[in-house]
Amino acid sequence: MSFSTISVIGLGYIGLPTAAAFASRQKRVVGVDVNQHAVEIINRGEIHIVEPDLASVVKTAVEQGYLSATTTPVEADAYLIAVPTPFKDRHEPDMVFVESAAKSIAPTLKKGSLVILESTSPVGSTEQMAEWLAEMRPDLSFPQQVGEAADVNIAYCPERVLPGQVMVELIKNDRVIGGMSPVCSARASELYKIFLEGECVVTNSRTAEMCKLTENSFRDVNIAFANELSLICADQGINVWELIRLANRHPRVNILQPGPGVGGHCIAVDPWFIVAQNPQQARLIRTAREVNDHKPEWVIEQVKAQVADCLNATNKRASELTIACFGLAFKPNIDDLRESRRWKLPRRLPAGTAARPRWLSPTFTRCRRNSMDCVRWRPLRRRWPAPTCW
């Protein structure tokens, strides 16, 4: 069965680029999102997120009639679910958005439909999604019921792209395809090959789910090592940057750079999914998360100490000091504030120091009321009074 109409559920940092990639290959794509404002922006041929090269692809696709957006799911040949999967207060996975997305498309399914979950999810989530769909559509058969003879094919295919490079990596990177049956994997591979230049690597859904969690946990553990080194070096009076530069001259050593913690909606979140399901076995993964989550607290203490030194050196009051905070997002050239330690750090400074933090970022040109109305900041291109202390 060909894919005449493709529907992408969730038009955020992954969903919109994915929808645009399919539409750029002259496939009819209908994007679905609960955000009416985002839908209106996309239907004007514009974008509501920052991602290099995305705007031109969306503009062309909308103008040519291949891409449209709506708040209501429509019948399609293939559905890709790309919605957030945050965690709850105790670091347990919150699958409410996936469940809502699955149930929203259930009434539109037909024999021959393909449903792919792209959202980073705990092991077993694809099977759970299939159960939700089966409960709502008893008139159709699903892989967990009849295997390869299913009316509806289900697969898991995690995104593995770098923010700021999404439009390149989405097409070039290999994709792990985890079908609930060989037929499901084959159909999912056929779909992605519409735009994919990388290889489709086939496995089962549970392994594919664990693969994405493993990739991000590996990164998190390595970052935690670098961050822990920075704490040790500070205590020992050693320049951590010099230390890492020297250690990395060893041909089999490649230590990452320490930072104020780990941000973003992937590396800072996904390891907890493994810990939640395997708390006794995932001790290293848990420790790495704790190290990285603690790093902002350490940074705050360093800033407070520097403020104290600055006060002693200038005879000023704390309220007269200005602290320049460069960058808001969790990495350069994006506008994604999710789990950003750079954003959270300066927000906590006034209570502890009485100094005034000022945010400077090249990717934010206006205040977002839902997250930034409590601060004053300006983009980098505008002039700022010099910070009191550097």
Spans in the chain with pLDDT lower than 70: 1, 264-265, 325-390
Give the model's pLDDT for residue 345.
61
**Site of tokens 């309220």:** 319
Strands of 377-379's sheet in order across:
322-326, 356-361, 377-379
Cβ contacts of residue 182 below 8 Å, gap of 6+? Answer: 148
211 annotated active-site: no
Instruction: Quickly tell me which residue has 């995104």 as its tokens.
Output: 159
How far is Cα 305 from Cα 43, in angstroms, rounded to an integer?
50
**Residue 324: φ, ψ to 5°:** -85, 125
pLDDT of residue 300: 81
* Longest alpha-carbon distance in the chain: 78
The pair of three-digit structure tokens given for residue 347, joined into one six-digit string: 């927000």
Catalytic residue among 200, 212, 310, 325: 212
Q: Report the CATH number of the 214-379 domain.
A: 3.40.50.720
SS3 204: strand
Write the DSSP symbol of residue 123.
T
CA pair distance 201, 214, nearest whole angstrom: 16
Q: What is the pLDDT of residue 308?
A: 80
pLDDT (0 to 100) of residue 305: 81
| Annotation marks residue 212 as catalytic | yes
pLDDT of residue 321: 72
Q: How far apart are CA 308 and CA 204, in angstroms?
A: 56
CATH 3.40.50.720 domain extents, the chain: 5-198, 214-379
Catalytic residue (choose from 157, 184, 200, 266): 266
This prediction has a pTM of 0.84
CATH of 5-198, one of 3.40.718.10, 3.40.50.620, 3.40.50.720, 3.30.70.20: 3.40.50.720
Q: What is the pLDDT of residue 297?
A: 86
312-340 pLDDT per residue, tens: 888 777 777 777 766 666 666 555 565 55
**DSSP string covering 96-116, please?**
HHHHHHHHHHGGG--TT-EEE
DSSP 3-state of 171: helix
Per-residue model confidence (pLDDT) at position 357:
57
Residue with tokens 């008893």: 138
Q: For residue 7, count other CB atoms closer than 10 A to its CB.
A: 25
Report the SS3 class of residue 304.
helix
